Amino acid sequence: MLDFIREHDGLEATQRVYMSVGDKEGIYKETRQRHMVEHTKEAHQLWLDKGMGAAGLKLAVEPEGTHDDLFMMKHFPESLKWLFGNSEGHLQFRRMSGEMHVPGTQVWDLQSHLSGREYQIYIVEPMGPPPEGGYPVLYTLDANATFGSLAEAARLQTRGPHGMVPFVIVGIGYNSNDPIVTSERFYDYTVFADDSELPKRPDGSAWPLTGGAEVFLDFIEYELKPLIEKEFPIDRAKQSLFGHSLGGFFTLYTLFKRPSTFRRYFAASPSIWWKNLTLLQLWENNKVQISLHETEIELHLSVGSQEKPNMVRDAHNLYQLMTEDVYGPKLVSMIEVPNEGHVSLLPSLFSPMLRRVTS
């Protein structure tokens, strides 16, 4: 083909060509395929030398791209946009304010039929074919705050040939630009608490509406999960839930009330203090059921050493209570991360958590 391009004139003025290649194509080949990238670039340069301009010829080199359908499918819609989106073939620029798209992700607007409440569902698409049994999946709360970091961690750490097995991340968030959507999460992540059962807020304001944990759990189990399983082949034996702060309360609540909903539970800086330590009583009431119901469950607790003393103390107390008891999950782990606070704790947890999710 290169000889043909050298010996013949360039393309007609009315013709347009979109070329794409992954910069890792052919790296494991011993045949001429090992030269795929350099040959593609050479063909592109030959056409440029014969007078093809940027309006009629484009080469897209995909970083970390390999010779497989995933990267080819990614470029197919891009080629259509370039070839047919602008008949003059001129480059177009669009200034976007406050928006960034993470490659390999999608966002759904979803309204619960059970409660009428509205959510934005953020999804990290798997970077390869499913393992035998389906993809592991991580459901994460407070997606407005955590999804971007998790998505980039997944995109980097599932790259071949030595990356993690492909998996799906499902972030549950809200239609808001705020990282912490206070009123919505207070309702979804909590059991009802009277003001007399809660401490005074530092600014003296009233507590938001609370008590939606059960219906929110119904939404996840009976509405969201079936939709995800229609979109991707999911390994139901490898489903995990991650929550931080009040999301950590909800994670523990889910484990104590409906243990078989997930296999692995990750509770970071959990708000065990909520409603006069009601989680401790919930554990006591349900520990036998948890032990008998599902023996493969794991719980992973974490807290930052620089958090409020009661947050650190409560997490350690719960860990001690659960590990000293004869009942409970198969595995309970606890980590106190040095020099991290309530929020700065989060990035340190993501990579170890993703490795566990996919194991």
112 and 183 within one domain? yes
127 and 70 within one domain? no
227 and 161 within one domain? yes
Question: Is 90 within the bounds of a domain?
Answer: no
Q: For 245-303, how does the pLDDT look when each residue is reduced to its tens digit (9 = 90+)? A: 999 999 999 999 999 999 999 999 999 999 999 999 999 999 888 876 556 899 999 99
Three-class SS of residue 246?
Answer: helix
Task: Identify which of 100, 110, 244, 116 has the alpha carbon closest to the alpha carbon of residue 180.
Answer: 244
Kindly report the average pLDDT of the chain as a whole number: 89
125 and 259 within one domain? yes
Q: b vs e for 185-196, b when ≥16 Cβ sit within 10 Å of the residue's Cβ?
A: bbbbbbbebeee
Question: Is 50 within the bounds of a domain?
Answer: yes
Locate 192 and state its tokens.
């009802």
One-character DSSP codes across 283-348: HHHHHHHHHHH-TT-EEEEEEETTS-HHHHHHHHHHHHHHHHSSSS-SEEEEEEETT--TTTHHHH
Contacts of 67 (CB under 8 A, 6+ apart): 22, 25, 26, 33, 36
User: Are 123 and 110 within 8 A, CB to CB?
Assistant: no
74 and 118 within one domain? no
185 and 145 within one domain? yes
8 and 132 within one domain? no
| Domain assignment of residue 110, given as a range | 105-358
For residues 38 and 42, give the distance between their C-alpha atoms in angstroms, rounded to a whole number. 6
Question: Is 94 within the bounds of a domain?
Answer: no
pLDDT at 163: 83
Task: Identify which of 107, 237, 239, 103 has the alpha carbon closest to the alpha carbon of residue 158.
Answer: 103
Question: Is 38 within the bounds of a domain?
Answer: yes
Q: Which residues of the chain have pLDDT under 70?
A: 86-100, 292-295
Q: Look up residue 139 and give its amino acid.
A: Y
Please identify which residue in the block is written with the tokens 């995933």: 70
Q: Can you give the CATH number for the domain in which 276 is found?
A: 3.40.50.1820
203 and 117 within one domain? yes
Question: Is 29 within the bounds of a domain?
Answer: yes
pLDDT at 72: 81
What's the structural domain count of the chain? 2
Residue 251 forms beta bridges with which residues?
none
Question: Is 97 within the bounds of a domain?
Answer: no
270 and 132 within one domain? yes
Q: Are strands 264-268 and 234-244 parallel, antiparallel or unpaired?
A: parallel
Locate 200 and state its tokens.
């005074």
Task: Identify which of 90, 5, 72 has the alpha carbon closest to the alpha carbon of residue 44.
Answer: 5
pLDDT at 91: 43
Question: Is 92 within the bounds of a domain?
Answer: no
User: Are 264 and 357 within 8 A, CB to CB?
Assistant: yes
176 and 307 within one domain? yes
> How close are the terminal C-alpha atoms of the chain, in Å?
45
Q: b vs e for 115-141, b when ≥16 Cβ sit within 10 Å of the residue's Cβ?
A: bebebbbbbbbbbbebbeebbbbbbbb
For residues 271 and 214, give the distance between their C-alpha atoms in angstroms, rounded to a whole number. 17
Of 34, 53, 84, which one is at a domain's C-terminal end? Answer: 84
User: Catalytic site residues?
Assistant: 245, 307, 342
pLDDT at 294: 56
Question: Is 219 within the bounds of a domain?
Answer: yes
Q: For 322-346, how does the pLDDT look when each residue is reduced to its tens digit (9 = 90+)? A: 998 888 787 999 999 999 999 999 9
118 and 76 within one domain? no
145 and 71 within one domain? no
pTM over 0.75: no
Of 55, 84, 113, which one is at a domain's C-terminal end? Answer: 84
pLDDT at 66: 81
